[in-house]
Structure 1
Amino acid sequence: MARHENPRVDERRAKAPPLAKVCLLIGQLGLGGTEKQVVLLAEGLHRRGVDTTVLVMFGGGPRERMLHDAGVEVIRLGFHTRRDGRGRLPLNAAAFARLVGELRRLRPDVLHAFLYHSYVTAAPAARLAGVPVLVAGRRSLGDFKRGRRLVLAAERVATRMTDLLVANAESVAEDTRRGEGVPPGKLTVVYNGLPDTAFEPAAPAEIVTGAPVLLCVANLKRGKGHRHLLDAVARLGERGRPCTLVLAGDGPARPALEHQAARLGVDVRFLGGRTDVEALLARADVVVLPSLHEGMSNSIMEAMAAGRPVVATDVGGSGELLQGRGVLVPPGDSRALADGLERVLDDPGLAERLGARALDWSRAHLRADTMVERHIDLYTRLLAR
């Protein structure tokens, strides 16, 4: 894992003031991968004696209870999205003022913002509140920003006001360098982390079927490529390889996917959002992720920690995770996806080898403790500047 560190790291850290207070800013606390990493980071900081507060822009979510149970303070700021209807501009102005006020009250050493809306909001707020260090997370490729001048302009302004950008994959870092012209010293890479429980054996979930089980854990939205996966499953059926596809996740694409599954006549189980991913992984024969674009996939990481063979599209950080440890196929190509799945299903020895390699590598590189310690090191060095 690349670190991109300054050669005077040890000297600066030795002179650094103690890290006392950190605020993490995110849009909401749903079941997405970034939200999971925020919870793991907050819990890890809290366990190490760092006073940690999670600031939530738009609302709570299933992971909010996890933070409360861990003793981490959560503050909802009351920002409104476009779906909230008219009058959101004055409401968001009030929410921004509350963010500045909370930062002045809490007086964090570091404010770390995750995802686009959070870090473009955090930059001016941190400046107004006098926060010493501002860190922004880059969690995915910038495809959604291409050609959107106002979005890009706001991001560039925020980047100039930010002390450090933290990408979760080398591919995301390289995309950020190209897209924003960020100098090397302002950008580093920290892989996502997994809790120790991800590496522990789990009892399989009950999924009644006589066919091989393909599991995809991802939000049901266009960029995740589910429609290509359904086409691939239909192709497998035509080749005499019927499978049961289990989709864990929810989102706006669900109605269209349900219609597609009915039209194709394939066995698809729509489970909605789930928190028992370990049990689903224990039941799966193959884990598949057909994303059209991706940062560093938590679902692939979790599959690796469970020792499952993975077939995924070669986008974003997926290649970094699965090189030599999984099957990679081009994005948006249902035939190639079907070929990759068939290759693993037809060769149990290959499936076992891929799962074992993935487990060994994830144990060495993807533990949450490593992720938390890397962040503490970065925060401390930034405070020492």
Structure 2
Amino acid sequence: MTRTDGKPVRVLLITRAPVGGLWRHILDLTDGLLDRGFELGIAVDSLRASEHVRATLKRFEPRLALGVHTLDIPRLPGWGDLRLSMQFRKLIKTVQPDIVHGHGAKGGLYARLSAWRTEANAVYTPHGGSLHYDWKTMGGKVFLTAERRLIPLTHQFLFESQFSADGFEEKIGDTQGRDKVVFNGLGSREFAGGPVVLDEPTHDFAFVGEMRAIKGVDVLLEALCQVRHPEGRPLKVLMLGDGPMLEDYRTYAEQLGLADEVSFVGRRPVREAFAATNTVLVPSRAESLPYIVIESIAAGKQVIATDVGGISEIFGPTRDALVPADNVDALAEAMRQALEPRSPTTESVLETRYAYLAANFHVDTMVDQIAASYRNLSQAR
């Protein structure tokens, strides 16, 4: 993709935490933009860069004209942010990007502060981030005030869901028409072709996600206490994911008498969950537009999810099937229904959901829309 002078558009992508759906989004975007002729660089927090992330960056590095940059980026705001902003400004002067795209709250902070009064355009995608905070808390006041003051420094807001766009306007302020909703997407190879039923699944349910309170793992465990398999055998639930509360949830499962039913296996490829079960659980208390929901539906799985964030946008015409967040009884009832043989009505719902996803959540559409935003910004200045 070229500018008006015929040179490739140069983009620096910045994030603090290279984990979860945010990181998946950046990698998909990087692949797509490189294929479309952009010149790219990636800057991430060295403190959160696991061996897997470092290996991924090393694999990408030869293709990244603007390089790979790792800096020590703190999670919480402080005076260190000013020092890091100066480092990022020096980086921008060195690599001379046309676009600086910040992902997540901290990525958005550095992208906009460092691009201020330079030739670069600042783009911001929250990925939830600050939108999960509330003005009633001290932390919320800090993060949301910072977001409000950064609006004038933002040339383009790219929200991954209408929920995020609406939440930003309600909590923080008017983007003055500089916003666009671009759904996350998957590649063609990730679509199974329709709903799939494993004849002999090894597990009744699977959870894939970070082990922290916002993901509702405790609600899942409590709901399991109310569910019995129609055949009378113990349930089998596969729990994929790592995080700060992993050991807490192991202990809680034991206290609830679920040690034999729940298997915590740590961070593993999502395909292991898809190969093990027909039903994926997403009991989150808050989300933006979670990849696991998109991936699971594309893989042909039945998804039991809460009505939070942009999940209703993924479910589309079948959004009535979502369960309320933090509701143990509702989650347990949905799980009981999923253990029954699929009725024609259920099959129809799953087929409708799959078709809607395939039509609206493809990675090529995502990259094309973001690339068009980059091009328009580069040509406007």
Q: TM-score, normalised by structure 1?
A: 0.85
1:341 Cα deviation (Å)? 1.5
Q: Quick one: distance in 2 between partners of 1:213 and 1:346?
A: 11
For 2:55, the aligned partner's letter is: R
1:363 Cα deviation (Å)? 2.0
Is residue 100 of structure 2 the alignment partner of residue 105 of structure 1?
no
1:214 Cα deviation (Å)? 0.6
Is residue 357 of structure 2 the alignment partner of residue 362 of structure 1?
yes
1:159 Cα deviation (Å)? 1.7
Match of residue 58 from structure 2: 68
1:80-135 CA-partner distances (Å, limit 9, x unpaired): 4569xxxx856x5554332111111111110100111111222221115x143111
For 1:107, the aligned partner's letter is: Q
Q: Tell which deviates more after alignment, 71-80 or 41-50.
A: 71-80
Cα RMSD, aligned residues only? 2.8
Cα 1:305–1:49 change in 2 (3 A) is: same
Structure 1 stretches of 4+ with a deviation exceeding 6 A read 13-17
Cα 1:196–1:209 change in 2 (3 A) is: closer
Unpaired runs of at least 5, structure 1: 1-12
For 2:45, the aligned partner's letter is: M
Q: Quick one: distance in 2 between partners of 1:343 and 1:300?
A: 19
Q: Quick one: distance in 1 between partners of 2:212 and 2:354?
A: 28
Q: TM-score, normalised by structure 2?
A: 0.86
One of 194, 204, 211 as aligned partner of 1:220: 211
Is residue 287 of structure 2 the alignment partner of residue 294 of structure 1?
yes
Cα 1:213–1:52 change in 2 (3 A) is: same
1:308-342 CA-partner distances (Å, limit 9, x unpaired): 01110000111111144473100000100011121
Aligned pairs (5 A) from 1:130-209: 130-140=118-128, 142-147=131-136, 148-183=140-175, 185-199=177-191
Q: Quick one: distance in 2 between partners of 1:19 and 1:344?
A: 50
Match of residue 28 from structure 1: 17
1:270 Cα deviation (Å)? 0.6
1:67 Cα deviation (Å)? 3.9
User: Could you say what secondary structure the match of 1:111 adopts?
Assistant: strand
1:35-64 CA-partner distances (Å, limit 9, x unpaired): 110111011111211011011134423234
1:222-260 CA-partner distances (Å, limit 9, x unpaired): 011110111111110398574211111111121221112
Match of residue 374 from structure 1: 369
1:118-175 CA-partner distances (Å, limit 9, x unpaired): 11222221115x1431110022272324322222221111122101111111111111
How many residues were matched structurally? 360
1:290 Cα deviation (Å)? 0.4
Is the 8 Å Cα contact of residues 316 and 353 (structure 2) preserved in structure 1? no
Cα 1:352–1:373 change in 2 (3 A) is: same
Q: Tell which deviates more after alignment, 214-223 or 18-27.
A: 18-27
Aligned pairs (5 A) from 1:44-83: 44-59=32-47, 60-61=49-50, 62-70=52-60, 71-72=63-64, 73-81=67-75
Unpaired runs of at least 5, structure 2: none
Is the 8 Å Cα contact of residues 148 and 173 (structure 2) preserved in structure 1? no
Match of residue 262 from structure 2: 268
